[in-house]
Structure 1
Amino acid sequence: MKTEAITALNTGAVLEITLNRPEVRNAMSLAMVGELRQALAQAESTVGTAQAIRVVVLRGAGGHFCAGGDLKDMAAARMRTLQNAGDAADPIAHVNAEFGHLCAAFANTPLALVVVLEGTVMGGGFGLACVADVAIATETARFRLPETSLGVVPAQIAPFLVERLGYSQAKRLAVTGGRLDAAQALAMGLVHQQVATGEVDAAVQAVLANILACAPGALAATKALMAKARWSAPADLVDEAAAIFSRAVQGPEGQEGTSAFLQKRKPNWVPA
């Protein structure tokens, strides 16, 4: 995959994607959005193969994660809107929706998603932080939700922010033009771990070791069940969850996991 706005490095079962526009603090252009979605889709296409990718690590180059959407794309969309005032299509809405589809794709991936947050975290970057399975922030991370102070709406971020933090905290951030440092983000549950910049790579490796000790199929099924549980009463999921559990127990991962436990060895999905 040829990319310009990101870099993608595959090391065994892990795909590390780096937002690579450091000169603009990794502002998210439409090109970057497309490359991110393509990289994720290609990673997901390997599931079930001998070269399966199991974890995606997402981070930014140059000491920043992401400064939000690229203003050049929005300006171009505004110009197209003015030039084609009679058209039914809305270029600005299209650009905005692309960021939402990106966050939804990463939120719904069956792969484990680890996000490393440094420096500026805004806009679509804030949304990706919200959908991470594991979010690790360094002490340099600064989170911003400035849309309302600019006279616009955090349209695509809002649902993921509500899901991550709950209605009360999400609303507070939105109506105050929210600013958070890493410690505040940790206390609110936006991120799961705060580490010093010099320790971030070791922290990522420790998380990866834990994730790769889990069976990939069971991990994907668990993520899907938990996603459904957000909108369902527990009693409504009893039979479905039982069926999922039964399939897992009788499947190859369940049998291998049980055998490995009894034989006091690592299961075959754990990297050597």
Structure 2
Amino acid sequence: MFETITIETDARGVAVLTLNRVEKHNAMSATMIAELTQAAQKLGADDAVRAVILTGAGRTFCAGGDLGWMQDQMAADAETRFIEARKLALALQALNTLPKPLIGALQGNAFGGGVGLASVCDVTLGADHLKMGLTETRLGLIPATIGPYVIARMGEARARRVFMSARLFDAAEAVELGLLARAVPAGDLMAAAEAEVAPYLACAPGAVAAAKRLTRELGPRIDEAVIDHTIRALVDRWEGDEASEGIAAFFDKRKPGWAQDA
């Protein structure tokens, strides 16, 4: 049914949603974005599903947005860019509002949009060897559509430490920043995720869904107006000279014009 993700649900109703573009480090292509939205809708509507674990196949959890997809946006008109950015924003929102507990189990590195996926989970665990980073500014872009979820998870003060610098950080710092609840040895990751899932199986699923919805309503506002604001901010960057230079430099395997040696 899916090309870029897999879903396996056991007899208890625990679904494992796996990003499965191993050869592309699970970067989010247009197809994956659409499939994540479909998966969230499918899992949310299935009364047999009690909890969802989000993980990745291969060494990398998610390298962020697929560079080919970004390159396509650079060549598109503003209306097309807005439509495509909205698809990404709605995929994140569909996962963020999934009426089931969503447990992130990051088996490898998470960059850019991968940090966004980590931030929409109710609890996110990570292998203790992983690296994370909001790397968009290296390309002349900004972490726009993922921004509301990242800042809701980290808080503004902690987000300022890593939101603009594209600096990579390790699992221990990710815990300190609030992106990960815990870092565990890679071999213990899925057992740790199972331990997070287990209490929910004794809870009333409707009450869990209502409690999650209330938590979101009481937390930072992430509504259509906020989402549209982030989309416009991203499209504005796509239309600027820095994004053209940054993405071109990436594909040319050279430093962009603004980069200096530290």
Q: Give the TM-score taking structure 1 as reference length.
A: 0.77
Alignment counterpart, residue 53 of structure 1, candidates 49, 55, 60 = 49
Letter in 1 for 2:92: C
Q: Deviations over 1:247-270 (max 9, x none)?
A: xxxxxxxxxxxxxxxxxxxxxxxx
Q: Are residue 16 (structure 1) and residue 16 (structure 2) matched? A: yes
Q: Taking CA–CA contacts closer than 8 Å with sequence separation of 6 or more, which of the two structures ends up with the larger relative contact order?
A: 2
4+ aligned runs moved over 3 Å, structure 1: none
Q: Deviations over 1:16-65 (max 9, x none)?
A: 11110111110111101111111121111223xxxx10111111100211
Alignment RMSD (CA, Å): 1.6
- What does residue 71 of structure 1 align with? 67
CA distance in 1, matches of 2:196, 2:181: 11
- Residues 103 and 124, structure 2, Cα contact 8 Å, conserved in 1: yes
- Residues 104 and 193, structure 2, Cα contact 8 Å, conserved in 1: no
- What does residue 120 of structure 1 align with? 109
User: Secondary structure, in 3 states, of the residue corresponding to 1:4?
Assistant: coil
User: Secondary structure, in 3 states, of the residue corresponding to 2:28?
Assistant: coil
CA distance in 1, matches of 2:50, 2:99: 9
Q: CA deviation at 1:231?
A: 5.2
- Residues 139 and 196, structure 1, Cα contact 8 Å, conserved in 2: yes
CA distance in 1, matches of 2:117, 2:171: 16
User: Secondary structure, in 3 states, of the residue corresponding to 1:91?
Assistant: helix
Cα gap change, 1:155 to 1:213, in 2 (>3 Å) = same
Q: Give the TM-score taking structure 2 as reference length.
A: 0.79
Q: CA deviation at 1:118?
A: 2.4
Number of residue pairs matched by the alignment: 220
User: Secondary structure, in 3 states, of the residue corresponding to 1:18?
Assistant: strand
CA distance in 1, matches of 2:177, 2:142: 22
- What does residue 34 of structure 1 align with? 34
- What does residue 233 of structure 2 align with? none
- Residues 103 and 124, structure 1, Cα contact 8 Å, conserved in 2: no
Task: Give the structure with higher Rg (CA).
Answer: 1
- What does residue 161 of structure 1 align with? 150
Letter in 2 for 1:102: A
Q: Deviations over 1:178-216 (max 9, x none)?
A: 322111111221111111011112112211212212221
Q: Deviations over 1:139-195 (max 9, x none)?
A: 122111111232111111211111111111212212322322111111221111111
Cα gap change, 1:216 to 1:198, in 2 (>3 Å) = same
Identity %: 38
User: Secondary structure, in 3 states, of the residue corresponding to 1:27?
Assistant: coil
Letter in 1 for 2:160: K
Write out aligned runs for 1:1-272 (5 A). Answer: 2-12=1-11, 13-47=13-47, 52-81=48-77, 90-230=79-219
Structure 1 portions without partners, runs of 5+: 82-88, 233-272
- Residues 99 and 124, structure 1, Cα contact 8 Å, conserved in 2: no
Q: Deviations over 1:84-128 (max 9, x none)?
A: xxxxx5222322222211111111111110111122201221111
- What does residue 253 of structure 2 align with? none
- What does residue 242 of structure 1 align with? none
